[in-house]
Each structure stands twice: as C-alpha cells, then as structure tokens.
Structure 1
Amino acid sequence: DISNIIQQLVLTLNLYHSADVLPSNSVYTQDTHNKIHIVKFTGFCTLGICLTREYHFVNESKTWAEAQSYCREMFHTDLASVRNETELQDILRISNGSTVWIGLYRKRQWSDQSSSTFTYWRPQIIPESAEPDNGIRSPGQLGNEHCTAVDHSGYWKDENCLSMAKKNSQN
C-alpha cells in the first residue's frame, strides 16, 4: 500500500542522507568580505515528490567552474537548477541579499542536465539593461557572459564565468 511505500522511501532517504550521497544542487554567493558561500540544495525526489531540502553555506572564493567542481567533488552535487518560483524564493531567502551563481550556462542549459522552462531574466528598464545580453554592449561586440547569477531582487543575469561571485548588493 502507498503508506508502506512512503515509509520505506523515508527510511531509504534517512540512510542516504546520513551517508551524504543524495542527488542535489548548489548555489554560490560572495559576501562583502570577499568570501564565497556555497548554498547546497539536497533533495531526494521520487514519484515527483521531494522529501527533503537543505541549504548550507561554505566560505571560499571561486569562479563559477571552480565552485561547480568543488560542489561536485565535495558534496556529490551540482549548481542549483531553478525550476519554479518557489525554488527561486528559497534561494533568495538563503542568499540573504547576495548575488548567487546558479547552474544555467552557455546556451542556457542546466549544469545538472535537468530541463526547465522557468526563467526570471532581468527585464529592460533602461536601454540595454535587459538580460541575457552575453555582455554585448554595442553592435559587433563579442559577448563573454556565459554563466548565470541571481541578484538580490531575484532577477537572473548572465555573467563572465571567470569572475568571482558578485559581492553582496545590500549591506
């Protein structure tokens, strides 16, 4: 019966969780003291139901690729894939006003190979302010912004992958 299956899943989840090998996602953010924070999302999803989520901060300076590698090696996880407004709000709450890396890169693919149609790009408020813009500020210019960050307001923006996570925009 279904309650028996759920009970078994919870038991399995607890065993996996204690071994720290659950599939998961991470977000990286940097504060005003030039330290990067890793926000680790851990979840075990089955039958479309996520049974748990956890976020953790780790203070280290890293580029997008370094942060992704660190997360994969140390936590067996990847950068966060934002699939809906609720997940975006969770990231905003945890990041506490900082700009954070997410797993969207290159041709707008998720680094964990998941799929999602949800986006929250910065709208055009003033000319040339809309995202994604790939860093192109004038016609004929080649862009170099292939990684994505979420700013303090929740809007997504493409950034240069070699830069460190952006500094806290609110003090």
Structure 2
Amino acid sequence: MICRFCSFTGGISREYVVIQEQKTWKQAQAYCTANHIDLATVQSDEDWANLRDVVQKMTKTAWIGLYNDINSWRWSYQNKEIAFSTWSSGEPNNYGGYEACGATKGSSWNDYDCNSLFPFFCFNGKK
C-alpha cells in the first residue's frame, strides 16, 4: 500500500510517500532510489512537522533516510550531515553496537539495527 502527501518547505516541493511493505533499511533505500528520489529526508522543523503529521497516524515504526557513517549521522540523500534532529531521549545509542539506521514512530527518531523490517517513507521533489 502506498500513501502520498506533500510538503512545501522554503521553496522546495517535497512529496512524501509511505510504503507499507516491510523491508530492511538498505532494501527500503534501494526501493526509494529506484522508484522515487530516496528515503525521507528532514531538513527543518517545517519538514518534520509535515512528515510527523502522517507518522503520528501510523502505529508502526518506519524507516527514514538516517544512517550512521561512524563519524556522524547523515541523510542518505546526498550524504548530508543532519542539521535538524528530533531524537528520542537517550537516542541515538547504538544499543549492542548494531544500531546504525534511523527510523521514526510518533514524534521522534530512534536508531535501530539496519536489518530490522519496517515500512518506510520515500520522498519526491525538486529544489
């Protein structure tokens, strides 16, 4: 199942797409880059507010484009360092040394094992 919703942030038009299929983070990224632009990227409070409105209606954790490249958390799209974040308290914590991918549920982000299976958010848009 696919659900689409749009966000217009600072002159950037983004369409976020919810994909309800359960995939690992790498599988989700491959799907998004093949069918959209990439996993969802959040660059501002406004982006997060628009994405969060839909996230809060979901009952499941869902992948977004966050990953840990060892030195810093980055967005998969253009490998940009995160400038905005809304981590849950105590996150990211790399629990057990296996949590290097980011997902969201409710109003915040957590790091998870990249091999976990979750639905995910892709995005479309142009600057």
Normalised TM-score (structure 1): 0.56
For the aligned residue pairs, the C-alpha RMSD in angstroms reads 2.6
Aligned match of 2:104: 150
Alpha-carbon separation, structure 1, partners of 2:105 and 2:8: 27
Aligned match of 2:45: 85
Map 1:1-171 → 2, pairs under 5 A: 49-50=11-12, 52-75=13-36, 77-95=37-55, 96-97=57-58, 98-107=60-69, 108-112=73-77, 113-123=79-89, 130-136=90-96, 143-152=97-106, 154-165=107-118
**Which protein is richer in strand relative to its size?**
2
Decide whether aligned partners of structure 1 residues 41 and 162 sit closer, same or farther in structure 2, where only a CA change above 3 A counts. farther
Decide whether aligned partners of structure 1 residues 40 and 78 sit closer, same or farther in structure 2, where only a CA change above 3 A counts. farther
- Count of aligned residue pairs for this structure pair: 113
Query: Structure 2, unaligned stretches of length 5 or more?
Result: 120-127
Task: Give the percent of matched residue pairs that are identical in Structure 1 and Structure 2.
Answer: 35
Query: Structure 1, unaligned stretches of length 5 or more?
Result: 1-36, 124-129, 137-142, 167-171
Structure whose alpha-carbon radius of gyration is higher: 1
Alpha-carbon separation, structure 1, partners of 2:24 and 2:4: 16
Decide whether aligned partners of structure 1 residues 41 and 71 sit closer, same or farther in structure 2, where only a CA change above 3 A counts. farther
